[in-house]
């Protein structure tokens, strides 16, 4: 079993994120992934509660956490 994926995920906090937009504070990839996951979860919960949707907020948050991960072997 290869542990490269786990090592990569733990290194995300050391990788500075480059953004096309001006930012007031630097952000690393781990922080970015957390914020994307939080937003995805909140949007699903809003969709479910206010608009009667049936969205899986936990799945959306999980996918968001890993959205910058590569699957190279």
Report pLDDT for 2.
62
Residue 26: other Cβ atoms inside 10 A: 10
pLDDT band at 5 (very low <50, low <70, confident <90, very high): confident
DSSP letter for 28, please: B
Q: Where are the alpha helices (DSSP H) in 1-73?
A: 4-11, 29-51, 57-65
Torsion of CA 71, 16, 62, 36, to 10 degrees: -130
Q: Is the pLDDT of residue 3 over 80?
A: no
* pLDDT band, very low/low/confident/very high, at 72 (cuts 50, 70, 90): low
In tens, the pLDDT along 22-67 reads 777 888 999 999 999 999 999 999 999 999 999 999 999 999 999 9
Task: Determine the pLDDT at residue 30.
Answer: 93
């Amino acid at each position: 079993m290869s542990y490269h994926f786990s090592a990569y995920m733990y290194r995300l906090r050391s990788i500075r994120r480059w953004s096309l937009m001006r930012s007031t504070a630097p952000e690393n990839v781990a922080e970015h992934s957390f914020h994307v996951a939080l937003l995805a979860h909140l949007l699903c919960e809003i969709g479910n509660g206010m608009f009667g949707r049936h969205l899986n907020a936990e799945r959306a948050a999980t996918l968001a956490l890993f959205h910058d991960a590569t699957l190279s072997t």
